[in-house]
């Protein structure tokens, strides 16, 4: 019980630091170092016996070895997963710079405005967001884009503000598609390419979830609107929208809508999914797509020098993601290394086996644990990055493939983020709409519970 006790002490320390507004990076790092220290004090060879650190990589001094764990994870992450995620972020930054994400939404604007029934429009808009998230894999980024594009259409048609925010707040409750950071990490951990993971292991589960959540949003929105005595006031809506519309968006050409789609075409088009012999990885796809955007910009502005210099936006986007996400992954890996070093995973597995729990019970337990973590942190990435490295060991102990465990767990992690009143996306959209974030998550809670139930049912069917 030594490992269980100190694991819960570390988790309590983590929650305490998060409650005191210490950022997730430092909270995870300190909690991980605490566990590594406890493990080393209990057994000087714990770091090596748990394979957290290779004996050949030892610095021959226990204190230095604690920080060598950070160095090892930083080095390996930067050369692999980190580079992939940074290239995605660079491409996303350039898409935002040229207005391609906005152009992609404009493709849907006219069909959306033709739907006159408020609740039908709400559901159609929901399906649009689930398509867009494949190309814009950022909860906060897509949420803000939808607030300046989709939100005015919805509220002008008679959809209540909170119903509109339900759809926008849940725009990325599933980290979907081969461009998502969580998807790439899950695929890497399971030893499959992101395209195969997306098509063969995500879609069979996420399609039923998406349909179930659409139904849940329809009925819960009608229920809450009736309960809140919502009455559509067109004059009030127009006044509110005009107040927040001082900054006019510069419209890009509609042809720019194809730019965010190019990476997905390249990744799926040259993958095992379609039987291609040509190989394509995510960083290469992002670089090719960025250069395609640069050519578009040259034609648009007829300026070679200025357009070529805009490549710095790509590299700045990469750097920004290192600060926000790659560093978070490394800190999460240190926390996971701490849990491994004290024997928490082995103890948990033995307790589960002794209690007669099967692999399904473990999947449900870890899924709920990560959803709660995402709720507390306001970030699905922080939760998943912390626990993903532990899953292969757990899967091996239950004689199942890693992909069978990690897929349902990865899918469920984002649900907690969409009911967290401290999640950046929820705070941002609630601030723009001038409502309480608690009012938003009150609306998103039931659809996310439904999503969790469907995810568990699909897991029972496919496992």
3-state secondary structure 302-344: CCHHHHHHCHHHHHHHHHHHHHHHHHHHHHHHHHHHHHHHCCH
pLDDT at 71: 92
pLDDT of res. 124: 94
Q: How far is CA 194 from the centre of its chain?
A: 14
pLDDT value, residue 3:
81
- 356 burial (CB, 10 Å; 0-12 / 13-18 / 19+) is exposed
In this predicted structure, what is the pLDDT of residue 250?
57
Using the predicted structure, report yes or no on whether residue 271 has a pLDDT greater than 60.
Answer: yes
Burial label for 245, CB within 10 Å (0-12, 13-18, 19+), is exposed
Query: What would the mean pLDDT of 240-260 be, rounded to a whole number?
Result: 73
What confidence tens digit (pLDDT) does each residue in 8-21 have? 899 889 888 878 88
- What's the confidence (pLDDT) of residue 245? 53
Segment 379-407, tens digit of pLDDT: 777 778 778 888 888 888 888 899 999 99
Q: Give the model's pLDDT for residue 227.
A: 93
pLDDT for res 458: 92
Long-range contacts, stretch 361-366, CB < 8 angstroms, 24+ apart: 362/394, 362/398, 362/405, 363/405, 363/408, 363/409, 363/459, 363/463, 364/456, 364/459, 366/391, 366/394, 366/405, 366/409
**Residue 60: how many CA atoms within 13 Å on its side-chain side?**
0
The Cα–Cα gap between 132 and 125 comes to 10
The band of 255, judged by pLDDT with boundaries at 50, 70 and 90, is very high
Tokens matching residue 251: 């419209």
- Note the pLDDT of residue 307: 93
The predicted pLDDT at position 318 comes to 92
Give, as one character, the DSSP assignment of residue 271.
Answer: S
Q: What tens digit of pLDDT does each residue of 105-138 get?
A: 888 888 888 888 899 999 999 999 999 888 887 7
Cβ-contact 89, 320 below 8 angstroms: yes
At residue 173, the 3 state secondary structure works out as coil
Tell whether the model's pLDDT for residue 462 goes beyond 90: no
**Of 23 and 456, which is predicted with more confidence?**
456
The residue-averaged pLDDT of 79-105 equals: 86
CB 130 within 8 A of CB 168: no
Alpha helices in 228-303 (DSSP H): 234-243, 262-269, 282-301
pLDDT at 247 over 70: no
**In this predicted model, which residue has the larger pLDDT, 422 or 457?**
457
Give 3-state DSSP helix, strand, coil % of the chain, rounded to 5: 80, 0, 20
Whether 170 shows a pLDDT value over 90: the answer reads yes
Confidence of residue 378 (pLDDT cuts 50, 70, 90): confident
SS3 231: coil
How many angstroms separate the CA atoms of 4 and 16, rounded? 18
Are the beta carbons of 50 and 341 closer than 8 angstroms? yes
Locate 230 and state its tokens.
Answer: 């919502």
Question: What are the CA-CA distances from residue 209 to residues 66, 97, 220 (Å)?
Answer: 42, 33, 16
> At which residue do the structure tokens 């390249």 appear?
266
pLDDT at 244: 54
Q: How far is CA 125 from the centre of its chain?
A: 20
Does the pLDDT of residue 353 top 90, yes or no? no
The per-residue pLDDT of the chain, averaged, comes to: 87
For residue 73, what pLDDT band results from cuts at 50, 70 and 90?
confident
Radius of gyration (Cα) for the chain, nearest Å?
A: 23
Mean pLDDT of 139-149: 85
Distances (CA, A) of 394 to 187, 212, 358, 363: 16, 30, 11, 10
What's the average model confidence in pLDDT over 84-95?
88
Judge whether residue 249 has pLDDT over 80: no
Out of 278-282, 288-292, 450-454, which region has the weakest mean confidence (pLDDT)? 278-282
């Amino acid at each position: 019980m030594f490992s269980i006790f100190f694991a819960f002490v570390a988790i309590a320390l983590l929650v305490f630091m998060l409650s005191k507004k210490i950022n997730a990076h430092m909270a995870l790092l300190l909690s991980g170092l605490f566990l590594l220290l406890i493990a080393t004090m209990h057994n000087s060879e714990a770091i090596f016996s748990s394979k957290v650190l290779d004996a050949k990589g030892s610095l021959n001094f226990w204190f230095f070895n604690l920080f060598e764990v950070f160095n090892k994870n930083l080095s390996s992450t930067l050369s692999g997963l980190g580079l992939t995620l940074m290239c995605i972020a660079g491409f996303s930054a350039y898409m935002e710079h040229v207005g391609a994400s906005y152009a992609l939404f404009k493709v849907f604007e006219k069909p959306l405005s033709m739907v006159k029934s408020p609740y039908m429009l709400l559901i159609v808009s929901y399906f649009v967001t689930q398509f867009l998230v494949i190309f814009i894999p950022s909860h906060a980024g897509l949420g803000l884009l939808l607030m300046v594009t989709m939100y005015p259409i919805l509220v002008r048609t008679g959809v209540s503000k909170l119903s509109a925010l339900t759809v926008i707040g849940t725009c990325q409750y599933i980290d979907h598609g081969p461009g998502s950071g969580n998807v790439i990490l899950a695929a890497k951990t399971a030893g499959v390419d992101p395209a195969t993971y997306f098509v063969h292991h995500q879609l069979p589960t996420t399609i039923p979830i998406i349909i179930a959540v659409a139904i849940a949003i329809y009925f819960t929105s009608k229920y809450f609107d009736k309960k809140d005595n919502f009455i559509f006031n067109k004059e009030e809506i127009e006044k509110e929208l005009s107040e927040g519309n001082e900054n006019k968006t510069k419209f890009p050409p509609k042809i720019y809508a194809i730019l965010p789609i190019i990476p997905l075409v390249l990744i799926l088009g040259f993958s095992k999914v379609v039987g291609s012999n040509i190989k394509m990885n995510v960083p290469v796809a992002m670089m090719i797509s960025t250069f395609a955007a640069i050519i578009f910009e040259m034609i648009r502005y007829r300026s070679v020098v200025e357009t070529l210099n805009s490549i710095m936006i790509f590299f700045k986007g990469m750097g920004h993601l290192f600060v926000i996400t790659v560093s978070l992954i490394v800190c999460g890996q240190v926390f996971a290394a701490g849990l491994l070093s004290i024997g928490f995973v082995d103890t948990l597995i033995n307790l589960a086996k002794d209690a007669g729990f099967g692999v399904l019970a473990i999947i449900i337990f870890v899924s709920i644990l990560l959803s709660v973590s995402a709720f507390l942190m306001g970030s699905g990435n922080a939760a998943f990055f912390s626990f993903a490295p532990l899953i292969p060991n757990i899967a091996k102990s239950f004689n199942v493939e890693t992909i069978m465990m990690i897929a349902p767990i990865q899918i469920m992690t984002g649900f907690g983020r969409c009911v967290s009143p401290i999640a950046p996306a929820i705070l941002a959209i609630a601030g723009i709409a001038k409502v309480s974030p608690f009012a938003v998550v009150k609306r998103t809670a039931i659809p996310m519970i439904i999503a969790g139930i469907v995810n568990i049912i699909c897991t029972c069917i496919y496992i």
